[in-house]
Structure 1
Amino acid sequence: MNILINKQNSDFYIGLSLALVSTIFIGSSFIIKKIGLQRLTHRGSLRAGAGGFGYLKEWIWWLGLITMGIGELANFGAYALAPATLVSPLGALSILITSVLASKCLNEKLNILGKLGCILCILGSTIIVIHSPREESISDVASLLERLRSSSFIFYSLVVISLSVLIAFHLGPLYGEQNVVVYLLLCASIGSLTVILCKGLGLALKESIDWPFYVFFVLMCCCLLVQMNYLNKSLDLFNTNIVTPVYYVFFTSFVIIASSIVFNEWHGLKTEDILGNLCGFTIIIIAIFMLNVFKDLDVSMGSLFRQKASKYHGYQNV
């Protein structure tokens, strides 16, 4: 029994470490790919947001894709070893990295409220790590396949696929260029299925490379290609500091729903741990709100002190 508990703890901390590494690479990849897309626009090529694929000839975009690939590999390992309800919320740290790098490399503003939002991202992520489930509810492929055949997951999958088709062929062409939510909603919903397939691929690797492994692998690649295509459209059309947090909120929400249906990872958690997870996620959403809604305000510590000083002198003059 002690050996099993130690193995679970070891897997948890290795998965946690891989999740943190993945946030560094994935957060950096958004900036690198954005630079590649900007270079493409400056040359007058058809933009990705308008349906162009000229970014495939841009080496910087490929560097960003490779960086994201490394991050996703680390993410894959994290999902294979740790609960999805832990790994997904930690993606908020990639937003922190993206925001900081965007202010340095893309000249996108990061004011004092944005910096406070970054701190809250770290705080919320820490709370989630402390209160997240330590044990996996599914330990073999057979159990996972049984869960995937459940009516609740089949219904969820049909809703996601129907929503994706509706956005890709109707809502996207009409509203995709005006509203950042449209394409990111497609990416996030498909991304929740990618997480389930990642978990299945990890379990299949632990057991044996049989037909479930190939099915999970092919389906996961298809989902990733769809995500990449529509994420590129969003990055090309909207500011990086808008795309990454909105995508995070949608993606994490969908993953929590999908994980609760398939893995039931919150089963057995104490009430305080469930509340801790919800509080941590809420803090992260507030942080993301601060990062974006107030990003265009010219607010700094210096301006705050100047306002206080001017009020003080005003009282003196009275």
Structure 2
Amino acid sequence: MAASEVDVALDAASASYKGMSSDNIKGLVMALSSSAFIGASFIVKKKGLKKAGASGIRAGVGGYSYLYEPLWWVGMITMIVGEIANFAAYAFAPAILVTPLGALSIIISAVLAHIILREKLHIFGVLGCALCVVGSTTIVLHAPQEREIESVKEVWDLATEPAFLFYATLVIAIVLILIFHYIPLYGQTHIMFYVGVCSLVGSLSVMSVKALGIALKLTLLGTNQLIYPQTWVFALVVISCVLTQLNYLNKALDTFNTAVVSPIYYVMFTSLTILASVIMFKDWDRQNPTQIVTEMCGFVTILSGTFLLHKTKDMVDGPKHADEENGFGEEGIPLRRQETLRTT
């Protein structure tokens, strides 16, 4: 009797888990490639920003001298390659699978920052990296299957439902308030304002990227979606959002430590993107409560890893450099400002 009950339970479990679809696997591979490129681009761009700031006006105070720095462009091209891979990933897999894998870019960024930028990675930072990997694996194994969409008009209908329209309007209003009121006053001393703009705008850009990716995928499969105006509207939104993200991400990277910017940006961006995807594409409607809870546990595990990576910077005790003795950190930021960040 007990054995038969066990067999029934095993059969039910195997039936509930159908494995990853071929589209999800394609999205997974592209998302992993994207993380590798983007993680490396943070470091290369940071080197370019520091080099440009030494001979011109820093991006953190409104300068654009980095546009004349070849190293920054190398990092920019690397990021573009990563974003293209990320773009393709969203065309095949749901955002709740693709977006959390950005944690791997944090690991790559932290390791390269340790090697190239001499931003020390503490042993607990290594543990943080391991937690990110475990959390990412959990989400990958329990991610929902991609929604079947046959036309970009279907995506447009999802985007114009009242719930998502309310979310998009709220995001735009908050972004405008941050840009025109809070950033001029507190942008140089509080990291959350620069990163907040990037993350909020990023959640809208991912939804538009996914819509545009689906349109291009269907077009390549023989169903032309370029004839619909909705496709071009999504393309315009992508361009506007990406340019805004790049501008404020450059400011954040130039003003604050890379190992602080990366995890905070990841946590806010991923949380808001998952929220936007749940509202627009209704990812959780195709899952049972157990799968949803497991995904959230995986996400919390990733958040724990990013938290450890962030706190690691305060645990490393090393010899003071000459610029530290003069009251400045390695990025030309007064140490008093860094202490303020740690207490906010």
- Offset of residue 137 of structure 1: 5.4
- Offset of residue 42 of structure 1: 1.8
Q: Is the 8 A contact 1:89 1:281 kept in 2?
A: yes
- Counterpart selection for 1:85 from 96, 101, 106: 96
Q: Tell me, what secondary structure is at the counterpart of 2:144?
A: coil
Aligned to 2:255: 237
CA distances 1:72-120 after superposition (whole Å, capped 9, x unpaired): 0000000000000000011001000000000001000101000110111
Aligned to 2:330: none
Aligned to 1:176: 187
Aligned residues: 293
Cα distance in 2 between the residues matched to 1:197 and 1:85 = 15
Aligned to 2:210: 199
Unmatched tracts of structure 2, length 5 or more: 1-17, 318-344
CA distances 1:216-240 after superposition (whole Å, capped 9, x unpaired): 1122011100000000000000000
- Offset of residue 193 of structure 1: 0.7
Q: Tell me, what secondary structure is at the counterpart of 1:129?
A: helix
Aligned to 1:311: none
- Offset of residue 174 of structure 1: 0.8
Cα distance in 2 between the residues matched to 1:78 and 1:115 = 27
| Map 1:271-286 → 2, pairs under 5 A | 271-286=289-304
Tell me which amino acid in the other structure corresponds to 2:199. A
2:140 is aligned with 1:129: yes
Cα distance in 1 between the residues matched to 2:234 and 2:265 = 24
Cα distance in 1 between the residues matched to 2:187 and 2:148 = 38
- Counterpart selection for 2:31 from 19, 23, 36: 19
Q: Is the 8 A contact 1:138 1:263 kept in 2?
A: no
- Counterpart selection for 2:275 from 244, 253, 257: 257
Tell me which amino acid in the other structure corresponds to 2:242. L
Tell me which amino acid in the other structure corresponds to 1:226. T
Q: Is the 8 A contact 2:92 2:146 kept in 1?
A: no
Tell me which amino acid in the other structure corresponds to 2:120. K
CA RMSD of aligned residues (A): 1.5
2:304 is aligned with 1:293: no
- Offset of residue 288 of structure 1: 0.7
2:161 is aligned with 1:143: no
Query: What TM-score do you get using the length of structure 1 for normalisation?
Result: 0.89
Cα distance in 2 between the residues matched to 1:137 and 1:116 = 38
Q: Is the 8 A contact 2:36 2:105 kept in 1?
A: yes
Of 164-173 and 204-213, the range deviating more from structure 2: 204-213
Cα distance in 1 between the residues matched to 2:151 and 2:284 = 18
Tell me which amino acid in the other structure corresponds to 1:30. F
Tell me which amino acid in the other structure corresponds to 2:70. W
Q: Tell me, what secondary structure is at the counterpart of 1:134?
A: coil
Q: Is the 8 A contact 1:32 1:64 kept in 2?
A: yes
CA distances 1:269-291 after superposition (whole Å, capped 9, x unpaired): 12221111100100111111111
Q: Tell me, what secondary structure is at the counterpart of 1:135?
A: coil
Q: Is the 8 A contact 2:49 2:72 kept in 1?
A: yes
Q: Is the 8 A contact 1:137 1:263 kept in 2?
A: no
Of 231-240 and 269-278, the range deviating more from structure 2: 269-278
Q: Tell me, what secondary structure is at the counterpart of 1:295?
A: helix
Cα distance in 1 between the residues matched to 2:26 and 2:197 = 30
Aligned to 1:51: 62
Unmatched tracts of structure 1, length 5 or more: 1-5, 300-318
Aligned to 1:63: 74
Cα distance in 2 between the residues matched to 1:194 and 1:17 = 21
2:57 is aligned with 1:34: no
CA distances 1:119-142 after superposition (whole Å, capped 9, x unpaired): 111011000101111232544312
- Offset of residue 255 of structure 1: 0.5
Q: Is the 8 A contact 2:136 2:302 kept in 1?
A: yes
Q: Is the 8 A contact 1:121 1:284 kept in 2?
A: yes
Q: Is the 8 A contact 2:53 2:66 kept in 1?
A: no
- Counterpart selection for 1:119 from 122, 130, 136: 130
Q: Is the 8 A contact 1:113 1:295 kept in 2?
A: no
